[in-house]
Amino acid sequence: MPIGEFGRPPGLPSEVSPALTTPMYWMYEMGQASLNPARAMTDMMKLWFENPFNPWSSTEFGKSIAAGCELFERTTRRYGKPEWGLHDTEVNGMRVPVEINTVWEKPFCRLLHFERKLTQPLRSPHPRVLIVAPMSGHYATLLRGTVEAFLPGHDVYITDWADARMVPVAQGRFDLDDYVDYVVEMIHALKDDVHVVAVCQPSVPVLAAVSIMEAEKDPYFPTSMTLMGGPIDTRRNPTGVNDLAEQKGIEWF
Distance from C-alpha of 137 to C-alpha of 134, rounded to nearest angstrom: 8
φ, ψ dihedrals at 91, nearest 5°: -125, 120
User: Rounded mean pLDDT of 83-93?
Assistant: 93
Q: How high is the mean pLDDT of the chain?
A: 87
Residue partners of 3: CB distance under 8 A and separation at least 6: 40, 43, 44
pTM over 0.85: no
Share of the chain above pLDDT 90, in %: 60
CATH homologous superfamily of 88-228 equals: Alpha/Beta hydrolase fold, catalytic domain (3.40.50.1820)
Share of the chain above pLDDT 70, in %: 91
Q: Looking at residue 97, what DSSP letter applies? A: E
User: Rounded mean pLDDT of 207-231?
Assistant: 95
- What are the helix (H) ranges across the chain? 23-34, 36-50, 60-76, 144-150, 176-189, 203-215, 240-247
pLDDT digits (tens, 9 = 90+) for 119-147: 888 888 999 999 999 987 779 999 999 99
CB-count burial class (<10 Å; 0-12, 13-18, 19+) for 239: exposed
Reply yes or no on whether the pLDDT at 167 is more than 50. Answer: yes
